[in-house]
Structure 1
Amino acid sequence: MAWEGLAAEFLQVPTVTRAYTAACILTTAAVQLELLSPFQLYFNPHLVFRKFQVWRLVTNFLFFGPLGFSFFFNMLFVFRYCRMLEEGSFRGRTADFVFMFLFGGILMTLLGFLGSLFFLGQALVAMLVYVWSRRSPQVRVNFFGLLTFQAPFLPWALMGFSLLLGNSILVDLLGIAVGHIYYFLEDVFPNQPGGKRLLLTPSFLKLLLDAPEEDPNYLPLPEEQPGPLQQ
């Protein structure tokens, strides 16, 4: 019964958050069960473009290391802040949310190639946290019951905690940088004098993922009133 309740609760989570969280957990489980090896998942430009192992462009964002505290810590932040974004500023805008993932993933891949980074899931988490924090500047965050501060400080606290866990802060810095680029192009620059939106979600994504908008000028036909049967 407990599993049924948990499954029902998980199915109520927004689509993108549910899909990404499930993909990360299943990928880690497959590695843990030795069905996959991290060597089959990491980003390697030579294998991607010479051997056509294009799945590495995606799988390097899905593996957060073996089961342990670091993995559960990252999954907690993925689930919490991805969900709050999808249910908050991206509510009803699934295509825009997916486009943010694509924009961030492509930019991280290019910059990660320059920095010889092989797994970028943690950078994606940092980007999600950064965008949420900048869009929720007045929210006060309780960080594991130890510290309480305004939301914009959360990405830096996350980076410091990651450093305590022995991880490289370069990945977190990459995520923060990409998150700031997205936030500037989407939220800041369009509101400047002479500014405009530069990040336009492709129409095919909107067609696939968003519900069609109703025509405000459309007037439904009046319902027919029941009358006597005609002979």
Structure 2
Amino acid sequence: MAWRGLAAEFLQVPPVTRAYTAACILTTTAVQLEILSPFQLYFNPHLVFRRLQIWRLVTNFLFFGPLGFSFFFNMLFVFRYCRMLEEGSFRGRKADFVFMFLFGGALMTLLGLLGSLFFLGQALMAMLVYVWSRRSPQVRVNFFGLTFQAPFLPWALMGFSLLLGNSILVDLLGIAVGHIYYFLEDVFPNQPGGKRLLLTPGFLKLLLDAREEDPNYLPLPEEQPGAHLPPQH
């Protein structure tokens, strides 16, 4: 019964958050069961462009390492802040949210080439946290007993990675890409002479966003409710 409750609750999660979290968990489970190997998932430009192993452009964002504290910690933050973004500033804008993933992923991949980074899931998580924190500057968060304003959270996460002995290069990459997105989307359009440079492609909106009804639209008689029923005498 507990599993049914968890499954029902998970189905209530917004679709993009649900899909990305599930993909990360399934990928890690497959590696743990030795169905897949990390060597099949990491980003390698030679294998992508010479051997056409295109899936590596995606799978390197889905693997957060073997099951353990680091994996569950990252999954908790991915799920929490991805969900808060999708239910908050991206509410009703699924296409824009997916486009943020695509923009961030593409930029991280290009910049990751310079640092020879093989897995970028943690960078994507840092980007999500950064964008949420800049859009929620007055929110106070609790991080292992420390309470501070939301904009400090990405830096606290980077410090925590450093304490665990991990490279902070991935976190810095995520913060940098998150700041670029935030600047182009939230800051520059509101500057004198500024405009929106990140425009979500129309096919994404057509595919993912529900079409808004025109309040002035008057349906034809045959489209009106009950129009197909014969008149009653």
TM-score (norm 1): 0.95
The Cα shift of 1:163 comes to 1.2
Hey, what's the Cα distance between the residues in 2 that align with 1:166 and 1:215? 55
Distance 1:86 1:179 in 2: 15
Distance in 1 of aligned mates of 2:14 and 2:125: 17
Would the alpha carbon gap of residues 229 and 212 (structure 1) be closer, same or farther in structure 2, given more than 3 Å must change? closer
Q: 1:8 to 1:226 in 2, by over 3 A?
A: closer
User: Distance in 2 between the 1:43 and 1:112 partners?
Assistant: 9
Alpha-carbon offset, residue 222 of structure 1? 7.7
- Measured against aligned partners, the alpha-carbon deviations of 1:25-74 in whole angstroms (never above 9, x if no partner) come to 00000000000000000000000000000000000000000001000000
Counterpart CA distance in 2 for 1:51 and 1:164 is 38
1:137 pairs with 2:137:
yes
Instruction: Give distance in 2, aligned partners of 1:160 and 1:40.
Output: 30
Q: Does 1:200 align with 2:199?
A: yes
Q: 1:13 to 1:229 in 2, by over 3 A?
A: closer
**Whole-angstrom distance in 2 between the partners of 1:226 and 1:78:** 44
Q: Take 1:16 and 1:157, find their aligned partners in 2: how far apart are those partners?
A: 26
d(CA) in 2 for partners of 1:106, 1:225: 46
- The offset of 1:10, in angstroms, is 0.2
Which segments of structure 1 move beyond 6 Å, counting only runs of 4 or more? 222-228
- Report SS of the residue matched to 1:141: strand
Q: Distance in 2 between matches of 1:208 and 1:220?
A: 24
TM-superposed deviation, 1:225: 12
Q: How far does residue 219 in structure 1 lie from its aligned partner after superposition?
A: 2.8
- Of residues 215-224 and 100-109 in structure 1, the stretch that sits farther from structure 2 once superposed is 215-224
Measured in 2, the distance between the counterparts of 1:82 and 1:92 equals: 14
Distance 1:48 1:143 in 2: 38
> How far off is 1:215 after superposition?
1.4
In structure 1, stretches of 5+ residues that fail to align are none
Superposed CA RMSD: 2.1
Q: Distance in 2 between matches of 1:132 and 1:224?
A: 43
| C-alpha distance after superposition, 1:174-227 (max 9, x if no partner) | 000000000000000000000000000000000000000111321346899999
3-state SS of the aligned residue for 2:221? coil
> How far is the alpha carbon of 1:164 from its aligned partner?
1.3
The aligned runs of 1:25-174 (5 Å cut-off) are 25-145=25-145, 147-174=146-173
Equivalent residues of 1:28, 1:64 under 8 A apart: yes
Normalization by structure 2: what TM-score?
A: 0.94
> In structure 2, how many angstroms separate the alpha carbons of the residues matched to 1:144 and 1:205?
39
CA pair 34-148 structure 1, distance change in 2 beyond 3 A = same
How far apart in 1 are the matches of 2:223 and 2:91? 36
CA distance in 2, matches of 1:229, 1:47: 68
**Are the structure 2 counterparts of residues 113 and 226 from structure 1 closer, same or farther at C-alpha, using a change threshold of 3 Å?**
closer
The sequence identity of aligned pairs, in percent, is 93
Corresponding residue pairs, total: 230
Distance in 1, matches of 2:105 and 2:119, equals 11
Name the CA distance, whole Å, in 2 between partners of 1:225 and 1:32: 56
Shift of 1:230: 7.9
